[in-house]
Amino acid sequence: MKTINFLQAFTLATAIVLMAGCTTTQRNTQSSRTAVEQLLLSESVKRSFPSDPGESLPIPRGAGVAINTVGMTPDQAFLQQVLAGWLGQQGYLVQKDGKDATHRVDVVVEALGTELSSAFIGMPPVQSQFIPFSLPELALFKSQYQTGYTKFHLNVFSLPTGNFLGSTPAFLADAYYNDYTVLFMLSHTFTDLPSVPELGSFNRKPAGPRVENKAE
């Protein structure tokens, strides 16, 4: 009986060592934001603009517009550039220096960022001083939910008087990227992003130039 118990313990220890030796460590990013986070932000910003401003902007088409942005995030500079392009598509003349502008648009950024939440069922990674190796994470179920969120509104003023003409309703949109892992290694991703980076695999073909279909 003692021999059987020893063999069982030896087999279990060997399996744990092999599992620990076969794990790989992956860093989420080498930049300040992962590519997925950047896509979540940029996609939520683009979705926040309506295809037609309708009567939300009290500015006649063809008017010169100066843009000023205020918010609590450094990403507001990106929002301002996307807004400038959108206004140009609607027929407004965006003035970089504002010298010839007849209207000023103040962009009030209420929220622009990503949210992350997760759920985990299993054994977290273990590192002990009593064994010469660390045990990897063993996930029976693991999920990560990422959301990019954009909310802002525009205050419009006439120039050079500075008279307040009105505020727009909130421009609001989001995008999501959810990742699930079941039984240690079975994983799947659900997202509404049009294109996301793929991690390398044995079956992956070399990526070539790709042009997105803007009509979709």
Structural domain boundaries enclosing 167: 33-191
Is 83 within the bounds of a domain?
yes
Domain count, the chain: 1
Q: Domain for residue 24, yes or no?
A: no
DSSP 206: P
Note whether residue 55 is domain-resident.
Answer: yes
Check residue 215 and give its pLDDT.
45
Cα separation, 172 vs 48, in Å, equals 5
DSSP structural state of residue 170: P
Structure confidence at residue 205 (pLDDT): 57
Buried b (16+ CB within 10 A) or exposed e, 6-22: eeeeeeeeeeeeeeeee
Is residue 63 in some structural domain?
Answer: yes
Tokens describing residue 57: 């902007």
Instruction: Note whether residue 16 is domain-resident.
Output: no
With respect to residue 119, please indicate whether it lies within any of the assigned structural domains: yes
- 3-class SS at 77? helix
Closest CA relative to residue 112, chosen from 160, 45, 14, 180: 45
Q: Is residue 146 part of a domain?
A: yes
The CATH number of the domain holding residue 65 is 3.40.50
Placement of tokens 């309708």 in the chain: 54
13 to each of 6, 21, 133, 138, how far by Cα in Å? 10, 12, 11, 16
**21 in any annotated domain:** no
Q: Give the tens place of pLDDT for each residue, 56-97.
A: 788 988 999 999 999 998 899 999 999 999 999 989 999 988
At position 203, the amino acid (one-letter code) is: N
List, for the chain, all residue ranges whose pLDDT scores fall below the cut of 50.
1-4, 10, 14, 16-26, 202, 215-216
Closest CA to 147 of 180, 113, 195, 119: 113
Model confidence pLDDT, tens digit, residues 124-139: 777 766 667 676 777 7
Taking the C-alpha atoms of residue 118 and residue 143, their distance in angstroms, rounded to an integer, is: 5
Q: Provide the pLDDT for residue 6.
A: 52
